[in-house]
Amino acid sequence: MITKIKTSFLATVFCLAILAIAGKLLGSLLHKVEILNPMRNKIEDYEMSDLIFAYVHKSANPDTNIVIVNCYNDDRNNIASKIEKLESFSPKVIGIDIIFGKALEDTQNIRLIRVLNRYKDNIVLAALHGTEEESRTMNLPFYQDMQFQNEGSGSYHIGFLKQESLLKTKRHFEPFIKTEGEKPDTSFAVKVISLSYGRKQLKTLGAAAGESKLVNLRKGVSNLPRYLVFDTIPNNPDIFRNKIVLLGGFNEWSLEDKHFTPLNLYIGRSLPDMNGIEYLSQIISMIITNDYMKPLPYNIFWIFMSCFLFMFLLIRIHQSHNYYHLLLDFILLVFLAPLSMIICALLMENFRIKLEPTEFIIPIFFSGLLLPSYEPFTNWLSRIIKRKPKSTDHE
């Protein structure tokens, strides 16, 4: 038995080394080759842990700290009216997730500009993060006019939105977006928190410039909305007093500014399932409640996977008959998939740790294929080690 344990340990080291080398080579090659596959955009970034988010992850009670005001069909005059009315209700902060990119006539801009300048100390404006100077939001005509009319009487609170592909599932966000300069751009969600709760609330975030954080996305209880959403502002100040109010597009029937998230109930990607303003609300809720999701540390992951692999190889090597191996591999993999999902769900629900099941299911599967080459490799290596150099006679 001790011999089999030793053999299983050495086989585990052998398989891990081969898989690590092969993973590096295949990763570098696949990034350079364009794969023309019609299903590629649908499943390329799908993760099995998305099923845990969608079906197992604990739902959240309605978050009364945040109120969303839909401005999807509003012109700039209506947006200005909504801001004025909201400010009369004394909210903590108003975050405006709208980019005023179109150049309109001055008469259509002037009222909104005056309102934004009047309440700028309590407003966070969204801006797109871009490296090219001409692409930066604050250089658009509307914002240039706004700054000109401000006449230097105080600065604006700007929160940046990183431009990402709408085809990519959103799982992470950068609290502080790295720039070419020394100072990073503060993300929109972090700027809203900083203005409403103070920078002390950000201490637990602990993110460096350019570092991504997992977003702990949660559905509402019984699939009910997690946030209050209003198309028109009711005459009830208590709904908005001392609350974070976010203005933006919230349209269930439009695909504009809608994103794929792990809460999508379908495998892969079918239709975008979350509005951008709601995704930002999820990030803000996570920071307010310190309900962070973190990945399993790299060294712990390797220990975890090595233990699983060792157990798998020990059972496989223990079966001396070759015709058992195929059946054994099938049985182990059939049980390993649901077992890994259960372990990942327990880690997520009890410790807020995200572990992707495929990260150790796939290595274990390929280790079963690599195992037959372990014995020939050790025999070849032992011959190399035992081979002695021929002695030569010196005259």
pLDDT for res 1: 61
Cα dihedral 253, 227, 355, 347 sign: negative
pLDDT for res 264: 82
pLDDT for res 140: 82
SS3 category, 369? helix
pLDDT for res 318: 64
Distances (CA, A) of 349 to 5, 194, 216, 333, 353: 34, 28, 11, 24, 8
6-45 CB burial, b ≥16 within 10 A, e <16: ebbeebbebbbebbeeeeeeeeeeeeeeeeeeeeeebeeb
Tell me which residues of the chain have a pLDDT lower than 70: 1, 4, 23-45, 103-105, 130-135, 151-154, 266-270, 316-333, 387-395
334-352 CB burial, b ≥16 within 10 A, e <16: eebeeebbeebbebbeeee
pLDDT for res 33: 43
pLDDT for res 333: 66
Q: Rounded to whole angstroms, how far apart are CA atoms 238 and 259?
A: 31
